[in-house]
Structure 1
Amino acid sequence: MLTIIYEDEQYVAINKPNGLLVHRTRIAEEKKEFALQLLRDQLGYRVYPVHRLDRGTSGVLLFAKNSAAATPMVQAFEERQVTKTYYAIVRGYTAESETIDNPIRPDKDHQHKEAQDAVTHYTRLATIELPIAVGRYSTARYSLVKIVPETGRMHQIRKHFAHIRHYIIGDKRHGDWRHNKMFLEELDSKALLLHAYEMQFTHPFTGELTHIAAELPENMRRLCLSFDWVNAVTKHEKLTDSPV
């Protein structure tokens, strides 16, 4: 059963787990379960996705309960009126803060399209150096970062951190396989360590500022605890409520 983290008369939001597609796609026809289908069956009525999250990304996923409610929220996302905040664990020590302004080229199926402007802001929250050899280095360094994308291009965050060579751990397509392998074998972590933590927007029907937050998934929370990053994330994560 999906975890519902917000609901009102027009909208419902879930904390999407890693590995779950939002809806059926041409390249994933073999998958039997999708967030759209599961939430529809759980609630007993049709819902409408108003934005997307990559399959590997966990966190806040918002749906409209009817088409009339979907239209203004889709427009709000398109007009950049929704503030989204992510957490990620990435390779290396990042800058303390940085804005990545680098156009995103479409994936190979849409190479005929021009690159689109894409801007991502991030802040480093914590670092760790592990005594584990990866590649030619005897130790491995990682950063916990808080990310606020200004635009919403496909795979934007993953591509932008690959662009600055601070690959997101667990990213099989845009990441570093050596660090992914180490996290899997040494830390029992195979998921993409990218989480859509919160979303803020002005509610189209009430006019109120609406805030939706989704706790970190168990695996990412476990890693943050083991890395002694408890004080680096907000109190809403409730890290101390879960065992190391």
Structure 2
Amino acid sequence: MNAPPELDLLYVDEHLVVVDKPAGIAVHRSNLVGADDDYVIDRLRRQIEGPLHLAHRLDRATSGVLLVARSVEAAADLGRQLMDRKVDKSYLAVVRGWPAESGTIDHPLTGASLKGERKPARTNWRRLATVELPIEMGRYPQQRYALLDVEPETGRYQQIRRHFAHASHHIVGDTTHGRGDHNRLFRMHYGVHRLLLHAWRLRFAHPADGRAMGLSAPVDAMWIKALAGLGWTLPAVT
């Protein structure tokens, strides 16, 4: 069996590694995912020697910037930044409908079991583009979609996906919380077979010297296909 391809690394030093995580691969072994032979952390261990500690997580279906510490001390510092909400995370998402130009979803969520106590969860968004497609589906002769820049304030399980489903602006390609009819539309008309949620930018303080770090991950080929089909271009990363 051929070895899986190496990961694209966005930044590397003796304290941390920033990975461009592909869609469709789990970050690590977990009871929440099936038994796979391929995980991000295993690929990374074949590329980077020494200890590696995941500073945060991305869903299997989500692509983009993933932060990994190379020491216990760096992991602890990044963990504190995350707990104190000092890490700015920005995602790109394609959703059904046209949300307002900006807003916040403030809706408590349960944990990964989807049961038990609900904890505070807030997600902010800014609308980047809209489109109305002349495709009839159900009782509507046209279908509306929007491209959003999404910034979660908290980090609950599948927070962005669950929040936009709660707001009836389901993320395209979400097979768990999304809408099957809209997912099929994107497969049929645009050849898009993945969740259109991408961890676009990450801003944090370097764990060793505190300098401001800003990393971004480019969108993959399927994202490019979707953007081209919808007539959208991404703004420059700032």
TM-score normalised by length of structure 2? 0.93
2:108–2:120 CA contact under 8 A, matched in 1: yes
- How far apart are the structure 1 equivalents of 2:148 and 2:142? 20
- Indicate whether 1:40 and 2:31 are aligned: no
Deviation, 1:41, is: 0.9
Deviation, 1:29, is: 4.4
1:170–1:191 CA contact under 8 A, matched in 2: yes
The aligned residue for residue 71 of structure 1 is 76
1:203–1:209 CA contact under 8 A, matched in 2: yes
The aligned residue for residue 176 of structure 1 is 179
* AA of the residue aligned to 1:21: A
Is the alpha carbon distance of 1:27 and 1:103 closer, same or farther for their aligned partners in structure 2, counting shifts above 3 Å? Answer: closer
* AA of the residue aligned to 2:93: A
The aligned residue for residue 214 of structure 2 is 211
State the SS of the aligned residue for 1:72: helix
1:59–1:215 CA contact under 8 A, matched in 2: yes
Deviation, 1:175, is: 0.5
2:15–2:207 CA contact under 8 A, matched in 1: no
1:118–1:156 CA contact under 8 A, matched in 2: yes
Deviation, 1:177, is: 0.7
Q: Map residues 77-92 of structure 1 onto 2, 5 A cutoff.
A: 77-92=82-97
- Indicate whether 1:15 and 2:20 are aligned: yes
The aligned residue for residue 191 of structure 1 is 194
Is the alpha carbon distance of 1:114 and 1:226 closer, same or farther for their aligned partners in structure 2, counting shifts above 3 Å? Answer: same
The aligned residue for residue 165 of structure 2 is 162
Dislocated runs of 4+, deviation >2 Å: 233-237
State the SS of the aligned residue for 1:28: coil
Deviation, 1:224, is: 1.3
**Which digits, 9 at most, give the CA deviation of each residue in 1:3-46, with x for residues without a partner?**
00111220001111111111001243421111011001122333
The aligned residue for residue 56 of structure 2 is 51
* AA of the residue aligned to 1:68: E
RMSD, aligned α-carbons: 1.5
- How far apart are the structure 2 equivalents of 1:42 and 1:24? 18
1:145 to 145, 148, 164: 148
**Which digits, 9 at most, give the CA deviation of each residue in 1:152-208, with x for residues without a partner?**
111110011011100000001110111001111221101000000001011121111
- Indicate whether 1:121 and 2:124 are aligned: yes
1:215–1:236 CA contact under 8 A, matched in 2: no
Is the alpha carbon distance of 1:137 and 1:15 closer, same or farther for their aligned partners in structure 2, counting shifts above 3 Å? Answer: same
Unaligned runs of 5+ in 1: 238-244
The aligned residue for residue 3 of structure 2 is none
Unaligned runs of 5+ in 2: 1-5
Aligned length: 233
- How far apart are the structure 2 equivalents of 1:28 and 1:151? 22
- How far apart are the structure 1 equivalents of 2:200 and 2:42? 23
